[in-house]
């Protein structure tokens, strides 16, 4: 039997990362592994530490404790080598609004060490890839939000990084702009670049990420595929809207007997909800039982747990950086809004 080829080393590994801002513990034992060639989603509420984690991993902020490697290179010991292998699209536009799209890309290419001719050719390639050729000679100040975001991502790919960090890349974009960025991310990943995506949009992670890590209070509290995380909340749910509010309890008892589980009743919405192991198979017997009891149903739906529900379940109603433990802080300055995110 031919052995399986060796599994490639992770593109990113972080273990026990710590970052303090005065008395605020922005990262409190942050652990993360991102496999090569994947899109990894990093979710968390405001203040969970997503941006701080990205800043530490991309060498923009010093690490107070723990270890991190990018493409096998120690982030703390060899930051210059790390920067050669990464691309970063932050939350705010990095391109110059006074320049044209082409001028911006040529500038980034020249700053990255490309010759004048190679910089122009690379700019043309990226403009085509991100569907910006028609706008190449226009000043960025006249671009829509989606166009600027695409240009930001294009600029980060001048040298095709081993790993691309996208920190909330679609914040503030309309649905069309978000869809355009999503397609760009898919194409980047398909070409072999590993992507770490931080986002507060649960559907974005659902659409793009191979695996998802959920952050809260400066650490990862759960990780898995979208399906694995959803299964943490149990199986499918059947929701029946009963026409007669006076018979809600009767309907709840009946449905519970049919599926062998306790049903919940919401009088305000006239809805009976029950968790079932196999939703499609449970629908028919529920309908037959309700019909036999002459209970009129206004609506009957099968629904599965959403990533939004998982997010709320894992992170709770409030989140934020925690105070540093009794040990002396490593920095005296209070965190900015950006740093504490």
The interaxial angle of helices 175-190 and 145-156, nearest 10 deg, is 20
pLDDT in tens, 178-200: 888 888 889 889 989 999 999 88
For residue 185, what are the CA distances in angstroms to 1, 29, 118, 191, 194?
38, 29, 24, 10, 10
Mapped onto helix, strand or coil, the DSSP state of residue 102 is helix
310 in Cβ contact with 233 (< 8 Å): yes
pLDDT band at 335 (very low <50, low <70, confident <90, very high): very low
207 in Cβ contact with 182 (< 8 Å): yes
Is a pLDDT exceeding 60 seen at residue 330? no
Edge-first strand order for the sheet with 65-70 is 73-74, 65-70, 12-21, 24-34, 322-323
Using CA atoms, how far apart are residues 184 and 131, in angstroms rounded to an integer? 10
Tokens of 190: 């398909």
Contacts of 296 (CB under 8 A, 6+ apart): 242, 243, 244
Using CA atoms, how far apart are residues 169 and 199, in angstroms rounded to an integer? 8
Provide the percentage of residues in the chain whose pLDDT is more than 90. 55
Is a pLDDT exceeding 60 seen at residue 323? no
What pLDDT does residue 319 have? 42
Q: Where are the alpha helices (DSSP H) in 130-197?
A: 145-156, 175-190
Question: Residue 70 forms beta bridges with which residues?
Answer: 12, 73
pLDDT top residue among 7 and 286: 286
341 in Cβ contact with 27 (< 8 Å): no
Q: Classify strands 219-224 and 211-216 as parallel, antiparallel or unpaired.
A: antiparallel
Task: Give the least confident one: 123-127, 164-168, 171-175.
Answer: 171-175
Using CA atoms, how far apart are residues 176 and 181, in angstroms rounded to an integer? 9
pLDDT band at 115 (very low <50, low <70, confident <90, very high): very high
For residue 114, what are the CA distances in angstroms to 49, 58, 74, 88?
35, 22, 26, 19
pLDDT band at 173 (very low <50, low <70, confident <90, very high): confident
pLDDT, mean over the chain:
86
pLDDT band at 170 (very low <50, low <70, confident <90, very high): confident
Task: Give the least confident one: 24-38, 42-56, 130-144, 226-240.
Answer: 226-240
What pLDDT does residue 80 have? 95
290 in Cβ contact with 240 (< 8 Å): yes
What pLDDT does residue 231 have? 77
What pLDDT does residue 229 have? 87
Contacts of 197 (CB under 8 A, 6+ apart): 39, 40, 41, 42, 166, 169, 185, 204, 205, 208, 209
- Domains in the chain (CATH in brackets) are 12-85+161-230+313-323 (3.40.50.300), 235-304 (3.30.70.100)
Angle at 12 between CA 10 and CA 13, to 5 degrees: 90
- What's the average model confidence in pLDDT over 95-100? 93
Question: pTM score, two decimals?
Answer: 0.74
Give kind and range of the element (H or E) at residue 300: strand 297-303
Is a pLDDT exceeding 70 seen at residue 334? no
What pLDDT does residue 320 have? 46
Q: Classify strands 39-43 and 73-74 as parallel, antiparallel or unpaired.
A: unpaired
pLDDT in tens, 254-310: 999 998 989 989 999 999 998 887 778 888 999 999 999 999 999 998 887 777 778
């Amino acid at each position: 039997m031919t052995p399986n080829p060796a599994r490639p080393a992770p593109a990113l590994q972080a273990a026990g990362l710590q970052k303090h801002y005065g008395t605020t513990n922005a990262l409190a034992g942050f652990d993360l592994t991102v496999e090569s060639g994947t899109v990894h989603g990093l979710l968390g509420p405001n203040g969970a530490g997503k941006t701080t984690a990205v800043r530490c991993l991309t060498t923009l902020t010093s690490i107070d404790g723990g270890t991190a490697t990018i493409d096998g290179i120690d982030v703390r010991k060899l930051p210059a080598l790390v920067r050669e292998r990464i691309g970063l699209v932050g939350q705010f536009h990095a391109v110059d609004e006074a320049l044209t799209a082409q001028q911006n890309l040529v500038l980034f290419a020249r700053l990255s060490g490309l010759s004048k001719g190679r910089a122009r050719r690379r700019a043309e390639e990226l403009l085509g890839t991100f569907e910006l050729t028609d706008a190449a000679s226009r000043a960025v100040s006249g671009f829509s939000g989606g166009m600027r975001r695409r240009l930001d991502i294009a600029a980060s790919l001048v040298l095709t990084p081993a790993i691309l960090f996208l920190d909330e890349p679609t914040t503030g974009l309309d649905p069309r702009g978000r869809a355009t960025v999503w397609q760009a991310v898919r194409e980047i990943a398909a070409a072999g670049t590993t992507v770490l995506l931080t986002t507060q949009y649960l559907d974005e992670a659902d659409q793009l990420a191979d695996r998802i890590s959920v952050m809260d209070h400066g650490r990862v509290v759960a990780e898995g595929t979208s399906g694995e995380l959803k299964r943490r909340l149990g199986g499918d749910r059947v929701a029946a809207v009963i026409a007669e509010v006076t018979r809600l309890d009767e309907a709840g008892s009946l449905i519970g007997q049919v599926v062998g589980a306790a049903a919940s009743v919401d009088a305000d919405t006239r809805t009976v909800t029950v968790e079932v192991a196999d939703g499609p198979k449970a629908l028919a017997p529920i309908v037959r039982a309700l019909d036999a009891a002459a209970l009129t149903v206004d609506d009957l739906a099968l629904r599965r747990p959403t990533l939004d529900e998982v997010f709320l379940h894992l992170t709770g109603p409030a989140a934020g950086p925690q105070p540093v433990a009794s040990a002396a802080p490593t920095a005296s300055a209070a965190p900015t809004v950006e740093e504490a995110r």
